[in-house]
Amino acid sequence: MKAAMIREFGAEDVLRYQDVPDPVPPPGHVLVRVKAAGINRGDLGRRMGTYGGGQAAPLPLIVGWDIAGVVEALGPETPGPAVGTRVVARVPQGGYAELATPPHWQSVPIPDGVSFEQAASLPVAYLTAWFALKRQGALQAGETCLVQAAASGVGVAGIQIAKAIGARVITTASTPEKLALAKRLGADVCVNYTSEDFVEVVQRETDGRGVDVVLESVGGEVMVRSVTALAPLGRLVSVGNSARAASPTDLAQLLGKRISLFGFYLGNEHGVPEALAELLELVRDGRIEAVIDRTFPLAEAAEAHRYVAARRNLGKVLLIP
């Protein structure tokens, strides 16, 4: 099969499109012919060997967590899904390839009316926002939620999931195009953080109270200021640190306002297949949009990484084998 293989860590050019042996599904896994693979910002860190606090994965490596495709074979002692089923899945690695071998319990059937591209855009970003807001942030209808980085994968998902819960959404972005996307997705208040102070906007829009929940993926000063934007008993859920900067916390604010800070990493979160199935139904029914910026051929994985690194995308970027 063809794959975008990494044999050394580094810049985008370490992604080499080449022939590699076909994978063989072990017990409990399925062999999937990949039709679309999603790119997440974590993939860039894995490519550079910096993801997860510098604990680089063994080489050679095929990165990529999000795939959608068709089941071609079952490993030993694997109950399904049946050969020919369209599925979306998360894999520990190996997504940037023509074939992948996800666990059968992580391989969720794609309903009619949802494309491979739509399905492949969901797993990491949408599940992260889903669990961060619904489980850890305990966001409720009628509350106000601040979603940072509106045009990021998690931001796009977070805006829509918060609105589906019934919350009021304030969000931030750096360009008119990104703010327009956020508005189209249902955000109630859109803040250009290059020209406005989002804390001042939050205070104005909440009559000085602050927001109930923050979904935060930037880190550094953005996280510090997000804590300031919280209301008493507010909850902040951090799902990333794209700024790669320290986030010193004012303990007086935490104690005085009884704020809760959570860190969330998707990992093997309980209930992932069920949540992904529900997200697929929401996409099928038009209640949530799987926002896709553009696709690249798998052979152009390096160029796709450059595009994402430059923050040019408005929504997900996908690779097509």
Render pLDDT for 229-276 as a digit per residue (tens, 0 to 9): 999 999 999 998 776 666 677 666 777 789 999 998 888 788 999 999
pLDDT for the residue numbered 269: 82
Question: What is the model's pLDDT at position 245?
Answer: 65
Q: Where in the chain is the domain with CATH 3.40.50.720?
A: 125-263
CATH 3.40.630.30 fits 2-121+290-320, yes or no: no
Predicted TM-score of the model (pTM)? 0.93
Q: Can you give the pLDDT at residue 7?
A: 96
pLDDT score, position 216: 95
Residue 57 pLDDT: 83
Provide the pLDDT for residue 54.
58
Return the SS3 of 30: strand
Going by the DSSP 8-state scheme, the letter that residue 14 receives in this structure is G
Query: 122: which 2 tokens?
Result: 């969901």
Range(s) within the chain of domains with CATH label 3.90.180.10: 2-121+290-320
Interstrand relation of 144-147 and 99-100 (parallel, antiparallel or unpaired): unpaired
Q: What residue type is assigned to position 295 of the chain?
A: T
Running along the chain, 321 residues long, what does each successive block of 10 average in pLDDT? 97 98 97 98 93 78 98 97 98 97 97 98 96 97 97 95 97 96 98 96 97 93 92 94 67 79 86 96 96 97 97 93 97
In degrees and rounded to multiples of 5, residue 320 shows phi and psi of -115, 110
Q: Supply the DSSP string of 104-153, one letter for each residue.
A: GGG-EEPPTT--HHHHHTSHHHHHHHHHIIIIIS---TT-EEEESSTTSH
How far is residue 200 CA from its own chain's centroid?
28
For residue 52, the 8-state DSSP code is: T
Give residue 219's pLDDT: 85
Parallel, antiparallel or unpaired: strands 260-263 and 230-238: parallel
Report the length, in residues, of the chain: 321
Pairing of strands 292-297, 15-19: unpaired
Please say whether the beta carbons of 218 and 212 come within 8 A. no
Cα 127 to Cα 74: distance, rounded to the nearest angstrom: 26
Residue 115 to residues 88, 124, 132, 177, Cα–Cα distance (Å): 10, 17, 26, 25
Residues 6+ apart with CB under 8 A from 153: 40, 41, 121, 124, 125, 126, 315, 316
Topology adopted by domain 125-263 = Rossmann fold (3.40.50)
Supply the pLDDT for residue 255. Answer: 74
- Burial of 219-240, coded b for 16+ CB within 10 Å and e otherwise, reads beebbbbbbebbbeebbbbbbb
